[in-house]
Amino acid sequence: MVLKLHDLAPAPGSRRARRRVGRGIAGKGGKTAGRGTKGQGARDTVAPGFEGGQTPLHRRTPKAKGFRNPFRVSYHVVNLEVLEAFDAGAEVDPDALRARGLVAKQGLVKVLGRGEVTKALTVRAHAFSGTARAAIEAAGGRVEVLPAPWGARRPPARGNALTNR
pLDDT tens for residues 4-24? 999 999 999 999 999 999 898
Residue 117 lies in a domain: yes
The percent of the chain in helix, strand and coil, each rounded to the nearest 5, is 20, 15, 65
Contact 22, 29 (CB under 8 A): yes
Around Cβ 139, how many Cβ atoms within 10 Å?
17
CB proximity list for 21: less than 8 A, separation 6 or greater: 29, 30, 33, 34
What's the predicted TM-score (pTM) here?
0.56
- 105 part of a folded domain: yes
User: Does any domain span residue 69?
Assistant: no
Mean local confidence (pLDDT), 86-101: 90
92 assigned to some structural domain: yes
Whether the pLDDT of residue 27 is over 50: the answer is yes
- Does residue 121 form part of some domain? yes
Residue-number span of the structural domain to which 135 is assigned? 87-145
Mean pLDDT of the chain: 87
In this predicted model, what pLDDT tens digit does every residue of 99-148 receive, in sequence order?
Answer: 999 998 888 999 999 999 998 999 999 999 999 999 999 999 999 999 98
**CA-to-CA separations, 32 to 17, 20, 47, 55, 66, in angstroms, rounded:** 20, 12, 20, 30, 45
Q: Which of 43-47, 132-136, 150-154, 159-163 has the highest mean pLDDT?
A: 132-136
Q: Does residue 15 form part of some domain?
A: no
Has residue 68 been placed in a domain?
no
Number of structural domains the chain divides into: 1
The yes-or-no verdict on residue 67 having pLDDT over 90 is: no
Cα–Cα distance measured from residue 69 to residue 71, given in angstroms and rounded to the nearest whole number: 5
Please report how many Cα atoms fall inside a 13 Å half-sphere around the Cα of residue 132, on the Cβ side: 26
Dihedral sign (CA 51, 52, 54, 58)? positive
Using the predicted structure, report yes or no on whether residue 165 has a pLDDT greater than 60: no
CATH number of the domain residue 113 falls in: 3.100.10.10
In a domain? residue 43: no
Distances (CA, A) of 165 to 41, 75, 112, 116: 44, 23, 34, 43
